[in-house]
Structure 1
């Protein structure tokens, strides 16, 4: 009898299937789509520093987990649903505690902008899928709009920062790809006191002056919206310096995006208006346009602090931009 049980036990041990490994997807997966500027120098960790960068992952199966390096705040949307906030997360982040229906799904992830007093690890290290699941190419728009600016373009002080800023809202309404090449406190002119000068920093992959140059062959913007000049006054930038820097930026944008329509917004605080208009005139480009923003928002009701638009203010700006860009 004892020999019989030994035989049965051995057969059972042989017949029990080994657990199937989950599908570990690296950032280099050819089906993943990136919007905005990502530093891809490391094959295991893609880094975004400018506001409004995001990643799209199409996948099969019923669950998806995000692999993060160190702590960061992020937003994740599955199948076009609400952008869910994940605060101070790191390691393996389970985005589907309740499994999805079997089928094909899309994940969008955007990180909180790394700027000012906030420091986070905006690093995408890939996803973990169900055993046997795979990535698929997500549906992606054919057009990309780029928004260049400072904290207003970042969406600072709005409820979801970049995701509730006018650039993101405009792109979503037009169903285009979009990204905000913006950072809080930025100037147009590289001021002597160290204020970031976007006329030069526009050419970079990240925020630092030492960041690698961006490879503009990775995408071509069909339209570029510039909103700069709010901060330069506080850094002693003269009108002549501002105008010269604006001309340089417009020429840089045109050189990198030969077919884009370029919109130079009048700052909502009405700073350097004449210089902005003069810069547009100086480049002599029929597809570069100065945009008068008088009456777009009310500082008393549509801003948080008379400078930064609240959610309502950003929606009002998007209401004006959508018909211009469509």
Structure 2
């Protein structure tokens, strides 16, 4: 992705969040985001601190309860029929969040720095139901990859309480760039293929550790000062707001305190490394990619790793179109390297700074897989800014869901809850 495209992506992201505007094929999509800001003093609340044990933070949040990367969330159960959240000083004003009860459709609202927002009332869809979810499960997700929120307090009705919701038993993590983060999709992180797989699996925890423009190679790429081979080991992403909070000393991600450990890690990196503007050699790319997988294997010894084949858009080819690809041989060689007896008998672990030989906690066996993307997308599934359309993201998610089901035996157990918001398009005119 060219630098001017990355800047345009950031600019459009900021505009869409601040103004509550979604552009659809260059036209403004009609939205009706409720204004949920309230004066908390006008309500009789029972209030909980941001670090209370009943709150489950999904994705990556730092110790200040500030969200980063793509589609981070907050989940908890509650009694009664009211929920409000107060957002801290590190909330970017106007950040668009989605929230819901159980598997109901997402509702979106723009939250404010230092503001309190009433997100659940007696009129909220699903709040009066006890079947099939009891206690009521509240979920909030940050939609924009470039912005974030800070949780200050959570409120329920007087005399009511928060309830801990146990995590699901299986977990998947995505490590990527703008293609995984949902850049240029309608609801960004909540329209990405990565979110679509995590949510579409059903009863699965998911992390989307992805940020636009980032390389796997540890160098500057489209304004990102570090690559994923380094940044994956930290709570925060490479955004300007993260730099404003943590400066040159970002907080390391505490892998030991993760609520669940990923069973599958999907990596989609190399689109930015492959761009000639970033001047990344094939040798540097392979070295960084290997180190990242070595880091994943060290932190998650039991995890299966899926390496995604790159798709780099399409070009006109005679009277049709052809797909660009990159680092095909390099990626296949990486997969073969990690599944070789030489590596499995003496694995080398990367901790973000150094490589060390390490005895893993479980016996090593082949664990790296190659997911081919060629043929899933066609040229009209890529938007003008070189990223998948909403339909394109759904196509990638659908194929990857089936790949995970066939490769790892994971059942698809989401049989009703909304995944992608506002994709219910139809034609009910029977003659035209």
Q: TM-score, normalised by structure 1?
A: 0.86
SS of residue matched to 2:384: coil
How far residue 138 of structure 1 moved from its aligned partner, in angstroms, is: 2.2
Verify the 8 A CA contact 1:264 1:290 in the aligned structure 2: yes
SS of residue matched to 2:62: strand
How far residue 59 of structure 1 moved from its aligned partner, in angstroms, is: 0.3
Verify the 8 A CA contact 2:71 2:145 in the aligned structure 1: no
Q: 1:6 maps to what in 2?
A: none
Provide the C-alpha distance between the structure 2 equivalents of 1:157 and 1:102, rounded to a whole number of angstroms: 35
Q: 1:205 maps to what in 2?
A: 235
SS of residue matched to 1:144: strand
Provide the C-alpha distance between the structure 1 equivalents of 2:184 and 2:281, rounded to a whole number of angstroms: 28
After superposition, what is the alpha-carbon deviation per residue over 1:10-36, rounded to whole angstroms, capped at 9, x for unaligned? xxxxxxxxx995210222121211221
Aligned pairs for 1:222-301 (under 5 A) are 222-232=263-273, 233=275, 234-269=277-312, 270-284=325-339, 286-298=366-378, 300-301=379-380
Verify the 8 A CA contact 2:67 2:148 in the aligned structure 1: no
How far residue 121 of structure 1 moved from its aligned partner, in angstroms, is: 4.4
Provide the C-alpha distance between the structure 1 equivalents of 2:68 and 2:106, rounded to a whole number of angstroms: 19
Provide the C-alpha distance between the structure 2 equivalents of 1:182 and 1:20, rounded to a whole number of angstroms: 38
Provide the C-alpha distance between the structure 1 equivalents of 2:154 and 2:84, rounded to a whole number of angstroms: 5
After superposition, what is the alpha-carbon deviation per residue over 1:209-255, rounded to whole angstroms, capped at 9, x for unaligned? 63121111213100000000101123010111101111111111111
2:98 pairs with one of 54, 64, 75? 75
Provide the C-alpha distance between the structure 2 equivalents of 1:278 and 1:102, rounded to a whole number of angstroms: 52
1:163 pairs with one of 176, 190, 206? 190
How far residue 123 of structure 1 moved from its aligned partner, in angstroms, is: 1.1
Q: 1:173 maps to what in 2?
A: 200
Provide runs of 4+ in structure 1 moved above 6 Å.
Answer: none
Tell me, which stretches of 5 or more residues in structure 2 are unaligned? 1-41, 239-247, 313-324, 345-365, 405-409, 411-432
How far residue 114 of structure 1 moved from its aligned partner, in angstroms, is: 4.5
Provide the C-alpha distance between the structure 2 equivalents of 1:177 and 1:52, rounded to a whole number of angstroms: 12
Please state if 1:94 is matched with 2:125.
no
Verify the 8 A CA contact 1:247 1:280 in the aligned structure 2: no
Provide the C-alpha distance between the structure 1 equivalents of 2:220 and 2:184, rounded to a whole number of angstroms: 27
How far residue 152 of structure 1 moved from its aligned partner, in angstroms, is: 0.7
Verify the 8 A CA contact 2:215 2:227 in the aligned structure 1: yes
2:154 pairs with one of 110, 127, 132? 127
Structure-2 change in CA distance of 1:241 and 1:164 (3 Å): same
Please state if 1:110 is matched with 2:141.
yes
Provide the C-alpha distance between the structure 1 equivalents of 2:219 and 2:70, rounded to a whole number of angstroms: 22
SS of residue matched to 1:48: coil
Q: 2:57 maps to what in 1?
A: 34
Q: How many residues in Structure 1 have an aligned counterpart in Structure 2?
A: 299
Provide the C-alpha distance between the structure 1 equivalents of 2:327 and 2:394, rounded to a whole number of angstroms: 24
Provide the C-alpha distance between the structure 2 equivalents of 1:28 and 1:197, rounded to a whole number of angstroms: 30
Tell me, which stretches of 5 or more residues in structure 1 are unaligned? 1-18
- Which structure shows the bigger proportion of residues in strand conformation? 1
SS of residue matched to 2:66: strand
Verify the 8 A CA contact 1:61 1:102 in the aligned structure 2: no
Provide the C-alpha distance between the structure 2 equivalents of 1:249 and 1:230, rounded to a whole number of angstroms: 16
> Structure 1 residues 278-287 or 229-238, which shifts more?
278-287
How far residue 98 of structure 1 moved from its aligned partner, in angstroms, is: 4.5
Provide the C-alpha distance between the structure 2 equivalents of 1:293 and 1:102, rounded to a whole number of angstroms: 41
Please state if 1:214 is matched with 2:256.
no
SS of residue matched to 2:403: helix
Verify the 8 A CA contact 1:60 1:102 in the aligned structure 2: no
> Structure 1 residues 250-259 or 74-83, which shifts more?
74-83
Provide the C-alpha distance between the structure 2 equivalents of 1:294 and 1:192, rounded to a whole number of angstroms: 28
Please state if 1:55 is matched with 2:74.
yes
Verify the 8 A CA contact 1:59 1:105 in the aligned structure 2: yes
> Structure 1 residues 187-196 or 152-161, which shifts more?
187-196
